[in-house]
């Protein structure tokens, strides 16, 4: 998830700046099975080293290299909601969502109540978020732990979901570093913005799926996909097994359709050759109908002169 463009997806417990050239093997090893009574380790000291192991594999899959690994911050749901509320409020004003049915503007109190309510709804479902402004990844282990307790997930599944969410946000950081994602999203609005957001989220989903397959974490990845598409944990008043109705435009909390349609679009055009997705990010559709029906869109050719346009079967070089 990214906050777009204000942040894109607080009491900061810790901040770490990774070494830009960590000595790590190209493929992160699968974690051993966890004992049911084993404490869940989802703190920064545990997540930061895992990010260093996952980054080279993400580079290999995408045929792109990180300029540097972004810092990781572990935050609470409350702190994330506070972070989300401001851009949501700005989006409401920009899109005139702060105007009531009778044509009168909401009061300051009404806007505060509404944006905070929406921010907490999003924060309660968010596992990770890439902050485009600060160039950091926010991880919210509390979300996986809370849902895991409610649904009796094993400690192993909870850990894996948190790590896959972190990998998803690492892909967004790589997109920002190599495709100027934040700058381009800032310059867009309406359908073109939604289309680029869908390609960005779809790309991150597909890369995370490939990483999960490499690690043998299919169960955790299936649960994660259920969370981000709104199927795993239905909102009040919705039918279990179906995505909840879209809320107001949160401008930075992509809806289920953005994740699902974006992933289907990227899979249709890139197939198993994930480096092809970079051409989709460089020249995405302008009309949402082209995302919903990928056959309508003629993708740009992959530039053979691009030195990084190489098959994703070759390990990428860590910067």
Any idea where the domains of the chain sit in the sequence?
A: 44-296
What local confidence, expressed as pLDDT, does residue 230 receive? 62
Cβ contacts of 13 within 8 Å, gap of 6 or more: 43, 44, 73, 74, 75, 76
What local confidence, expressed as pLDDT, does residue 86 receive? 85
What local confidence, expressed as pLDDT, does residue 317 receive? 36
Work out whether strand 72-74 and strand 15-16 pair parallel, antiparallel, or are unpaired.
Answer: antiparallel
Give the orientation angle of helix 155-179 with respect to helix 141-151, to 10 degrees: 150
What local confidence, expressed as pLDDT, does residue 226 receive? 84
Task: Please state the pTM of the whole predicted model.
Answer: 0.76
What local confidence, expressed as pLDDT, does residue 42 receive? 63
The closest alpha carbon to 267, from 196, 210, 216, belongs to 210
One digit per residue, the tens of pLDDT, for the chain of length 319 reads 655 433 333 222 222 333 333 344 444 444 444 333 344 556 677 899 999 999 999 999 999 999 999 999 999 999 999 988 888 888 777 766 777 888 888 888 888 888 888 889 888 888 999 998 899 999 999 899 999 999 889 999 999 999 999 999 999 999 999 999 999 988 888 899 999 999 999 999 999 999 999 999 999 999 998 887 765 444 444 444 444 444 433 334 456 788 999 999 999 999 878 888 999 999 999 999 999 999 999 988 765 545 454 444 444 333 3
Euclidean distance between CA atoms 298 and 293, whole angstroms: 11
What local confidence, expressed as pLDDT, does residue 79 receive? 92
């Amino acid at each position: 998830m990214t906050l777009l463009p204000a942040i894109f997806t607080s009491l900061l417990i810790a901040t770490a700046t990774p070494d830009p050239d960590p000595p790590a093997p190209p493929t992160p090893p699968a974690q051993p099975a966890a004992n049911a009574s084993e404490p869940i380790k989802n703190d920064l000291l545990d997540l930061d080293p895992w990010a260093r192991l996952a980054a080279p594999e993400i580079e290999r899959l995408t045929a792109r290299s990180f300029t540097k690994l972004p810092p990781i911050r572990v935050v609470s749901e409350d702190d994330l909601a506070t972070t989300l509320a401001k851009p949501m409020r700005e989006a409401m004003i920009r899109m005139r969502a702060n105007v009531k049915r009778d044509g009168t503007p909401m009061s300051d109190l009404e806007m505060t109540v509404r944006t905070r309510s929406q921010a907490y709804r999003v924060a309660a479902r968010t596992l990770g978020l890439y902050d485009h402004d600060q160039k950091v990844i926010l991880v919210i282990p509390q979300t996986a732990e809370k849902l895991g307790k409610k649904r009796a997930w094993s400690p192993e599944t909870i850990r894996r979901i948190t790590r896959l969410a972190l990998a998803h946000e690492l892909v967004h950081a790589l997109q920002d570093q190599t495709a100027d994602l934040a700058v381009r999203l800032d310059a867009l609005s309406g359908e073109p913005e939604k289309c680029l957001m869908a390609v960005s989220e779809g790309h991150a989903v597909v890369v995370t799926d490939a990483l999960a397959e490499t690690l043998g974490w299919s169960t955790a990845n299936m649960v994660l996909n259920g969370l981000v598409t709104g199927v795993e944990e239905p909102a009040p008043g919705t039918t279990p097994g179906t995505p909840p109705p879209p809320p107001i435009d949160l401008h930075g909390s992509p809806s289920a359709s953005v994740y699902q349609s974006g992933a289907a679009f990227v899979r249709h055009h890139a197939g198993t050759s994930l480096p092809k997705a970079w051409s989709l990010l460089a020249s995405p559709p302008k009309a949402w109908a082209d995302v919903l029906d990928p056959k309508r869109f003629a993708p740009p050719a992959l530039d053979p002169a691009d030195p990084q346009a190489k098959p994703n079967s070759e390990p990428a070089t860590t910067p």
